[in-house]
Amino acid sequence: MFDKKVRARRLADVAEFEVIKNMYNELKGQAAIVTGGSSGIGRGIAERFAAEGVDVVITGRHEATLKEAAAASDKIHYVVADMTNTDDVAKTVAYAKDHFGRLDILVNCAGWCPVQNIKEMKLEDYNRAFDLDVKAVVDMTIQSLPLLLESKGNIINLSSIGATHPSVNLSMYTGAKAAIENFTKVWAVELAEDGVRVNAIAPGAVESNIWNVPGLTPEQSEAHMKSIIDGIPVKRMGKPEDIANMAAYLASDQADYVTGSIFKVDGALAI
Active site residues: 173
Q: In what order do the strands lie in the sheet with 262-265?
A: 76-80, 55-60, 31-34, 105-108, 154-158, 197-203, 262-265
Residue 43 DSSP SS3: helix
CA distances to 12, 111, 112 from 33, in Å: 25, 15, 18
CA distances to 29, 56, 92, 222 from 99, in Å: 13, 11, 11, 45
CA distance linking residue 60 with residue 160, whole number of Å: 20
Q: Across the strands, what pairs with 129? A: none
- 167 residue type, one letter: S
